[in-house]
Structure 1
Amino acid sequence: MAIRCTNLILLTIIASISSALRPNMIIFLADDVGYGDLKSYGHPTQEWGPIDDLAEEGMKFTSLYSTSSLCSPSRAALLTGRLPIRIGVYGKLMNFYLQSPNGLPKDEITLPEILRDVGYATGMVGKWHLGINDYTPMSGVHLPHYHGFDWVGTNLPYTNVWECDETKRHMDAPDPFNCFMYNNETIIQQPFSHQHLTKTFVDEVSTFIKQQTEKDKPFFLYLSFVHNHVAMFTGKDTKFTSRRGIYGAGIRELSWGVGEIMKKIKSLGIDNNTLIFFTSDNGGHIELCSEGGNNGILKGGKANYYEGGIRVPGILRWPGQISAGTINSNIVSQMDTFTTFVNLAGGKAPSDRVIDGRDITQQIFGSLKLKNETKTEKRILFFYCNDMLFAVRYGSYKVHFYTMPVKSKEEYTDTCGEGGFPSTMYFNCLYCPSDCVIKHDPPLIFNVDADPGEEYQLDPALHKLLLLEVKYLLEKHNSGWIKGEDLLSAYNQPSQPCCDSSKPSCSCNYP
């Protein structure tokens, strides 16, 4: 009876928090930043920065998962609360490319759409990577403005790639066909310059926040940083250095950008009513040597489904509501952001479709206010590569039905030169299905609570009950299954963005 009463009191407190405060909400999304890249997550030489301050002042997740180890699927899931395979963000290209005529489907309901409908101002800057055009080079029908963002500033609708290198470390000059920047729906640079990029994001976001604060209107902001995806850079306005070299300098600039926004929030007096979530879209790209991320003790990285590819840093901060220095060791999905933010804003998640994200407000404001870690929840998460179910996380265990080979650091000598300098853009294994994908029957089993590095396989014969439970949950997961239409296989050359089609080079660096 006492436990039931305590739970009722807790639920009442949570309900009053969500109905009374309606916090401003900010998602800071890093790009390819690994679980071990930050000082607060254990990197021995990365400099401390404002992101680490967030971890000290709020809640740090130790078992937070992206839904995918690649950009487009993970971002689609974050904004919709749904597995990429349900949305259709799968296919042979694995990501949305420049020439993809598809994008995030219009009939998907996004987090900013729901928040906008309950009175929030919604804004976005940074990397999008969820589609651009359909069958013409400048239609822009898949851009963020069409998915719930009322204000969209400077953005990269595709991404920052190896071919955009301006340092001359890898390229003589950037390739304009791969490197372009928009403001809302208009190309403003092709190729784009990195030199003031992070500062531009910061300045535009600061203005957006100030405007909404003056209107006394709650806001949702999605700041999707370019760091630390290749090509590596630090801008003229920052020019950070690091003991880790150019990669560490990029982490410092990323953290600087977060810190500048935090300064603005505090100066406007809205710190106590602003919920911050920092995370990364997937794990670090380990094949890029010293210019790729660090996933700490976790095995693997970007493009595979060992822990290093999908377990990512995650920090929640909300002064007065989330206790400083809290460690959350429960199994959490980035998709939970969707449902949790919707409920805190007083909105309702769609009831006409499966929403895979959970409302984790009780975990955030309840039992996990303790500073010690808690028992692992017996929750299951599903990880698809393309439309192949690669692995599940279930309670303390990770079960792999397929894997990709992971090289040791010593085996990268053919692609990593002096000091770890990468000689090429490279994945050891990327596509699935492909010859490099390994099927496991019986599946591989690891206890990732005891063995997060997935070094010691467990004997399937000794874990028959576990496998039966997983089989039952898979059958339940698959019942009434509706797989979305494949959106990542179509390719259409005229979809390639071009600032001026009369110029063969598509080069238009406007003043």
Structure 2
Amino acid sequence: MNPRLVFMPVLTLLGLLIFAAVSAIGATERPPNIVIIFTDDQGYADLGCYGSESIRTPRLDRMAAEGVRFTNFHVAASVCSASRASLLTGRYSSRHGVRGVFVPGNNGLSPGELTLAEFLRPRGYATACIGKWHLGDAPQFLPTAQGFDTYLGIPYSNDMYVGPSQAWADNATFRDGWTRERALEAQSFVKNNVANRAAIEAKGLRDLVPLMEGQQIVEFPADQASLTRRYFDRALDFIDRASADKKPFFVYLTPAMPHVPLFASSEFLGQSPRGLYGDTVEEIDYHVGRLLDHLAARGLDENTLVLFASDNGPWLGKGDATGSAGTFRDGKFSTYEGGLRVPAIIRWPTRIPAGQTSDALVSTIDLFPTLARFTRTPLPDRALDGHDLSAHLLTPSAPFASQPYFCMNDGQPVGVISGPWKLLPHGGKRNLSPETPPELYNLTDDPGEKTNLASAHPEKIRELKALLHIFSNSL
């Protein structure tokens, strides 16, 4: 059974009118530019507009004031690779097959999956991936094989190491005493120990990551303190080139920060009251402001949709290098709200009303069908798990019927949110046990998931288990 049919919303007359208005956007009008900024391991409460008193983010706060700030926005998985695959495909990990985290030399996102870049490029979009990829580092998995015209970035998390099969540019830069010969020796060691990460880390190779352009390493080890600036510099340059070519653009911009190890440039190092973690977030904030100013200066901002969000909740247990989920429980790797609920802001001047706050239950998987609507591109002939949010974005204050959201762990649906209710049949920890009794929360009354209501509402458990059963059978 197709879950998109099972959970199709009942459109009100107002919803139909809004839907018609979106569809009526002139077919000859230039499609919108799209910029997605997806940070790494940033907690829900790590922006000023989300309650942080120690991390100063004036430009993102302003972006929120100029657009929609979401308070109930969820990623499709609480871990890097699976989360990113879902954003780019509009599908839960049970469908796209990315279950957790890829390490160098692992598999990657199947080339048979359709990414947003592959979807938009036939529509005439220039497409760029800039920053962390983390969906496979072999040539067939890299961004330029998955619909992106250009790529600059680290192909996985910044705490990893050189991959076993990556090619080296003839003019690659080697830093900190490294030479090509030494780097090739390290790569050979990784290749011979690809299944033994402990041995690779014991060799001292951890945190020494390559910077790739296209499908070649151009810098090793990457100068991580300068990456945030360089990523945004490249994005601005790409925007200018696409505009000169009179093409709409899709920029997928994914800073390495604030994933550990933390790095900030000299301009921001030691400036935040929140320490190095705050330095990294405040640096991202500054460059988001640069990007928005650049769009305005080029006359592009009124036709550019910009999304800012994090790929999952904070990686707890890292001391001062840990972000904050605020009042929400737990963090990265868990299916509690601290792992899945993230800050999210969408800005599109003249189209999305400014100064709005949405408490609608929405997710990164909803971006694919939403952008399809805004770009007037027919949906692909494959199962999508997301739902079109265009009507809600154009009128955030109008009634909105949220659809059930499924909590994923290791590629399997292990929980569900429907309305205010959240069911975790075996709890929300990273390592689930069938012996763990069910947990039921009313997120409206108890967003911190402190009071398990399972014993008081057996009928609600049956109802939510039925939703999980229907969804599981649809896969």
Which TM-score band (shorter chain)?
0.7 to 0.9
Is residue 337 of structure 1 aligned with residue 367 of structure 2? yes
Residue 369 to residue 272, structure 1, CA distance change in 2 (3 Å): farther
Q: Does 2:121 correspond to 1:97?
A: no
Q: Does 1:212 align with 2:242?
A: yes
Match of 2:52 among 31, 40, 43: 43
2:76 corresponds in structure 1 to 67
What's 1:160 paired with? 158
Q: Give, in angstroms, the shift of residue 343 of structure 1.
A: 1.7
Q: Is the alpha carbon distance of 1:329 and 1:177 closer, same or farther for their aligned partners in structure 2, counting shifts above 3 Å? A: closer
Q: Relative to 1, partners in 2 of residues 1:176 and 1:7: Cα closer, same or farther, differing over 3 Å?
A: closer
CA gap 1:263/1:4 in 2 versus in 1, 3 angstroms: closer
Taking the aligned partners of 1:176 and 1:445, their CA distance within structure 2 comes to 40
2:116 aligns to what? 111
* Preserved contact between residue 97 and residue 411 of structure 2 (Cα < 8 Å): no
User: Alpha-carbon deviation of 1:5?
Assistant: 5.3
In structure 1, the residue matched to 2:187 is none
Amino acid at match of 1:15: S
Tell me which residue corresponds to 2:384.
355
Instruction: Tell me, yes or no, if the aligned pair for 1:196 and 1:237 is still in contact at 8 Å.
Output: no
Check conservation: 1:446, 1:458, Cα contact below 8 A.
yes
| Percent of pairs with identical residues | 33
Specify which of 188, 200, 206 is matched with residue 230 of structure 2.
200
Amino acid at match of 1:160: N
1:272 aligned partner, one-letter code? E
Query: Separation in 2 of the partners of 1:48 and 1:172?
Result: 38
Conservation of the 8 A alpha-carbon contact between 2:136 and 2:155: yes
Tell me the residue number matched to 1:400: 424
- 1:67-466 aligned at under 5 Å gives the runs 67-90=76-99, 94-100=100-106, 102-133=107-138, 140-152=139-151, 154-161=152-159, 175=205, 178-236=208-266, 238-239=268-269, 241-351=271-381, 353-366=382-395, 368-369=396-397, 377=401, 379-403=403-427, 430=430, 432=431, 437=433, 439-441=435-437, 443-460=438-455, 462-466=456-460
Residue 157 of structure 2 aligns to a residue whose secondary structure is coil
- Counterpart in 1 of 2:461? 467
Q: CA deviation at 1:114?
A: 0.9
Aligned length: 427
In 2 relative to 1, CA 88–131 (structure 1 residues): closer, same or farther, beyond 3 Å? same
Residues 58-117 of structure 1: CA deviation (Å, up to 9, x unaligned): 001111101111100000000000011211112xxx3111121x1110110111111101
Give distance in 2, aligned partners of 1:21 and 1:369.
27
SS of the residue corresponding to residue 425 of structure 2 reads strand
**What residue number does 2:181 align with?**
none
C-alpha contact (below 8 Å) 1:335/1:357 kept by paired residues: yes
**Matched residue type, 1:452:** P
| CA distance, structure 1, for counterparts of residue 116 and residue 412 of structure 2 | 26
Counterpart CA distance in 1 for 2:298 and 2:444 is 42
User: What TM-score, normalized to structure 1?
Assistant: 0.79
State the SS of the aligned residue for 2:19: helix
2:132 partner letter: K
* 33, 51, 61: which one aligns with 2:42: 33
- The answer to whether the Cα contact below 8 Å between 1:175 and 1:191 also exists between their aligned partners in 2 is no
Structure 1 equivalent of residue 18 of structure 2: 10
Give the TM-score of the pair, scaled to structure 2.
Answer: 0.85
How far is 1:240 from its partner? 5.7
Q: Secondary structure at the match of 1:197?
A: helix
2:442 partner letter: N
* 1:111/1:342 contact within 8 Å kept: no
RMSD (Å) for aligned C-alpha atoms: 2.4
Cα distance, 1:277–1:439 mapped onto 2, change above 3 Å? farther
For residues 121-177 of structure 1, the C-alpha deviation after alignment (integer angstroms, 9 at most, x for no partner) is 1111000000012xxxxxx2211001110122x21002111889x9xxxx9997378
Alpha-carbon distance in 1 for matches of 2:68, 2:212: 34
Task: Give the Å deviation of 1:458.
Answer: 0.9
In the TM superposition, what whole-angstrom CA distance separates every residue of 1:412-448 from its partner, at most 9, and x where no partner exists?
xxxxxxxxxxxxxxxxxx5x45xxx46434x110111
- Give the distance between the partners of 1:84 and 1:214, measured in 2 at CA: 38
Q: Does structure 2 conserve the Cα–Cα contact (< 8 Å) formed by 1:61 and 1:313?
A: yes
Residues 331-383 of structure 1 show CA distances to partners (whole Å, capped at 9, x for unaligned) of 001110111112211112222x22001111111113x246xxx67x4521111
Residues 425-480 of structure 1 show CA distances to partners (whole Å, capped at 9, x for unaligned) of xxxxx5x45xxx46434x110111111101111143x3233223212222221224
Deviation at 1:239, TM superposition (A): 3.5
Paired AA for residue 388 in structure 2: D
Amino acid at match of 1:457: N
**Amino acid in the other structure paired with 1:470:** L
- Please give the alpha-carbon distance, in whole angstroms, between the structure 1 residues aligned to 2:149 and 2:443: 41
**Structure 2: which amino acid aligns with 1:359?**
D
How has the CA–CA distance of structure 1 residues 360 and 240 changed in structure 2, closer, same or farther, with 3 Å as cutoff?
farther
Residue 479 of structure 1 corresponds to which residue in structure 2? 473
TM-superposed deviation, 1:233: 0.9
Deviation of 1:4 (Å): 6.1
Deviation per CA, 1:293-324, whole angstroms, max 9, x where unpaired?
Answer: 10000000011111000000111101111111
Question: Quick one: structure 1 residues 4 and 56, their matched pair in 2 at CA, closer, same or farther if it must change by over 3 Å?
Answer: closer
